[in-house]
Structure 1
Amino acid sequence: MVTRTARHGSDDESGDADYGHLQLTALDGWRGFVAEMHTAPNLLPTAVWTGLAEDKRDYYDDDRIDHHSRLLVVQTPTIRQVIASGRRLVQLNRNAHSGRCGLMVSGPAGTGKTTALTQLGKTVEVIHRRRHPHAADDIPLVYITIAPAATPKMIAMEFARFFDLPISRRANITDIADAVCGVSRDARVTLVAVDELHNLNTRTRTRAGADASDTLKYFSERTPATCTYAGTSLERTGLLSGTRGEQIAGRFEHGPHRSVQPGPTMDRAHRRLGRQSATTPAPAWITARARPLPAQAHPRK
């Protein structure tokens, strides 16, 4: 397991820090995401904290801010449902030769679709690592995002970039697809996660979107893995209409996503979670340095 800590006074403030661990669309970044462990910083007594030299106190506060910036994921009922559905599909597709089913997570913007997709991928990979502890070269999951106006070759290059494959600029899409599918089979890929799928809007970019959609279908048929898609309001993009859309809709489970905000449309489990979040006191390492502001410091509505 890898636990990252702040590097005081060097690369973090100069702008030369290595942000490779934030790139989930690259294999090294994804493995770092799976392996990282969040640990709360040690809470110093007030007397010790005030007695620190100014630079050491700044370093300590920077560590606390860095910890808070790594937002912890709340296991909402929706995220648990996505993980359960994805794991079930992986098991059902394990021995399928064709016609494998997939999962499609759709919903409004800002409702946690990417979070649910990455948590599903992380869960699948952790389980794979536990079951096969000596298969260090396995790559259970591939995660890519779809760029706006993506072409078939751009999508193929996203897969190749995840594996860090040396692809020549002169390589055509067939060469790239053969290389990606070969590595996927050798690395025992079991889940392919495709995010930002709404960028393949076949209503506004009919030919380009249709060709790119066919490319995803081609990869799903040649790779013995379960495909999971996520995007904003996919029902409005045209991906589920027409002959192609009917085939996609028939093979994919649809998981409309909702934000965890207490309201009249939320189910009982989400309401309970919202009440617990509102009434649970913050940990001591959050409130230890908090100071109440005077009344004039609060903005008036």
Structure 2
Amino acid sequence: MIVEPLVLHHARKTTLLGLREAFSALPPPPPALSFPEYIALPGDDRDAYDQARDDFLRLTLRVPTPEQDICARILAKLISSNPRRKNSRRGLMISAPMFYGKTELALLLSRSIEHAHAARNPDYADHGHVPVVWTEMTDHSTGKALLAQIVEFLAPTISLPQQITTDRLRKLAVDLLHTHRTKLLVIDEAHKLGGAEPSSIIKALQNESSATVVLVGIDLGGGKAFGSGDGLQVTMRCDTVALRKVDITTDEGSALWRRWVAIFDRNLPLCGHTPGTLTRNATALHNAAGGQLAVLAMIVERLVAAILDDPARRDELVTRERLFTVLDVLRHTTPVRHKDRTGRPRGSRVTDTRAWPIRPKWHRFESPRSYALRQCRAAGVPFDFVERGLTAPAQPYIYRVWGDEVAAAATVEAAAGRPSGHYQRLKRFAQPDPALTYPNGSCAACAQQGNMWSNSDTIARTGVCAIPANPCGQVPARPRSHNQPFPTTSLRRRSSAGSGVWSPRAASTPACTLERERWCATTRP
């Protein structure tokens, strides 16, 4: 089997060749193989096959959206009517918070305009036609920088004088747009335009050029660039399409979300894939993605990548365990709040016999900074005091003080008066091994150590803890009730000013891991 790899030569869309390469980068799905057939391939062929699957998933696989249809209809009317207008030509605004797929939507629309022009004019490239011009703004971009990008896109070999005036640059840009028969001018990251000057330049482009302007950015109608003055006039001249989350509590939203999930489920480029798992967990995916299509696409990409990157896999089936493992890894960008089969939120216990099908809400990834922050909270010491002691003016962030995590953990343990290895033990309990099985009724940390009790109320009533050890590796001196407060370590700063060294006054540990988990659930940052 021969799979032709996709070769890309241009890294950005702000050049003519780079934009046309982005338009044509639509690799077809690779031929379907069973997992035994995939394993039988030579190593180089398997790598090429995996790359083809990844390219298809990231570049080609897309789902239709209502906003895409609305924008396509608006652009068709504007591109047809704007050349007949002599002033007040209209444009399109695509506005949404970050990570909603604004740029991807603009790229899809631009590709459709380019392909439609190519269908009517097969030799358009030879005749110098450039139907779409793509620009991208950076922080505090000016109108002059926008005009310079347009000129460099259409005439990359031109040499602009350093002292060229904005008026001269504007006339040059308008002439180039007319000469190359440009229909669509896309201004991505338009919210980064600052002040009234860029808005006046855009208004001038709308007045003097027949190209339809598409502004793509965050909160365009309410930002400083387009919320007042000339910017407000630009806003009034544009049709605004806002991208929003999908609400599955409505029939329309639920049907739309399940259709998106079903499209991804049917087209996953996995060997022996049987659709169904993603569709059955559409509600969990909505909770994880927050109703955002861009986050859903990222989850699907991470799921496929996690399966393909596992060298010990025996199949490529999408299982519930694999899916929820990916959701847990993405918690730092997509907060997940799972519920059990009764519909009640899960607490600090795992009530299933499967290996981590759903992680408790208290689960967080441990880091040297979060560890130091929790120790300070437990001791009642302001964290900023400790942070000043553990950092320096040259390295003001606690993340970057040390070259590796081991050195960071050792320093924080010494400052907090904890034994060596304390941080690593807590990290291991905060991030259990997903391959293990946790019995019904046991907390995650104690079950990982093979310990289990029947009912926490019995322990609280008797004050007896049957667990011989706890996550800190120490045995309590006497039985404690789970209703008693968590004993903490007090920290005292030395009298030498600026030394930044902390010493322990007293240290004790919780009676058992259930008490530790309850404390973590209320105090973790």
Q: Which whole-Å CA distance do the structure 2 matches of 1:154 and 1:41 have between them?
A: 42
Partner of 2:175: 182
Which residue of 141, 164, 170 maps to 2:162? 170
Q: How far has the Cα of 1:81 moved from its partner? A: 0.6
Q: Which whole-Å CA distance do the structure 1 matches of 2:226 and 2:149 have between them?
A: 23
Partner of 2:130: 139
Unpaired segments ≥5 residues, structure 1: 8-17, 202-208
Q: Which whole-Å CA distance do the structure 1 matches of 2:85 and 2:27 have between them?
A: 37
Q: How far has the Cα of 1:199 moved from its partner? A: 0.8
Is this contact kept in 2: 1:146–1:199, CA < 8 A? Answer: yes
Which gives a bigger RCO, structure 1 or 2 (Cα 8 Å, sep 6+)?
1
Task: Describe the SS at the equivalent of 2:355.
Answer: helix
Q: Which amino acid aligns with 1:198?
A: H
Q: Which amino acid aligns with 1:258?
A: R
Q: Mean Cα displacement is larger for which, 235-244 or 73-82? A: 235-244
1:73-84 alignment, distance < 5 Å? 73-84=62-73
1:257-301 CA-to-partner distances (Å, cap 9, x unmatched) read: 224x3434x782x43221223345433732535145694375623
Q: Mean Cα displacement is larger for which, 169-178 or 96-105? A: 169-178
TM-score, structure 1 as length reference: 0.81
Is this contact kept in 1: 2:147–2:170, CA < 8 A? Answer: yes
Which residue of 170, 192, 214 maps to 2:200? 214
Q: Which whole-Å CA distance do the structure 2 matches of 1:82 and 1:4 have between them?
A: 34
Aligned residues: 278
1:181-209 CA-to-partner distances (Å, cap 9, x unmatched) read: 222111111111111111124xxxxxxx2
Q: Mean Cα displacement is larger for which, 25-34 or 276-285? A: 276-285
Q: Which whole-Å CA distance do the structure 2 matches of 1:274 and 1:88 have between them?
A: 29
Q: Which whole-Å CA distance do the structure 2 matches of 1:224 and 1:124 have between them?
A: 15
Is 1:286 the equivalent of 2:270?
yes
Partner of 2:456: none
1:126-275 alignment, distance < 5 Å? 126-136=115-125, 137-163=128-154, 164-172=156-164, 173-201=166-194, 209-259=195-245, 261-264=246-249, 268=252, 270-275=253-258
Is this contact kept in 1: 2:93–2:239, CA < 8 A? Answer: yes
1:60-88 CA-to-partner distances (Å, cap 9, x unmatched) read: 22322233232522210111111111111
Unpaired segments ≥5 residues, structure 2: 273-314, 323-353, 361-525
Cα RMSD (Å): 2.7
Q: Which whole-Å CA distance do the structure 2 matches of 1:62 and 1:134 have between them?
A: 33
Q: How far has the Cα of 1:244 moved from its partner? A: 1.3
Which residue of 24, 34, 40 maps to 1:35? 24
Task: Describe the SS at the equivalent of 2:83.
Answer: coil
1:92-126 CA-to-partner distances (Å, cap 9, x unmatched) read: 21211211111112122222222222222221121
Is this contact kept in 2: 1:106–1:234, CA < 8 A? Answer: yes
Q: Which amino acid aligns with 2:93?
A: M
Q: Which whole-Å CA distance do the structure 1 matches of 2:37 and 2:4 have between them?
A: 25
Q: Which whole-Å CA distance do the structure 2 matches of 1:241 and 1:65 have between them?
A: 41
Task: Describe the SS at the equivalent of 1:235.
Answer: coil
Task: Describe the SS at the equivalent of 1:67.
Answer: helix
The structure-2 alpha-carbon separation of the partners of 1:190 and 1:59, relative to structure 1 and needing over 3 Å to count, comes to: closer
Is 1:5 the equivalent of 2:28?
no
Is 1:92 the equivalent of 2:151?
no
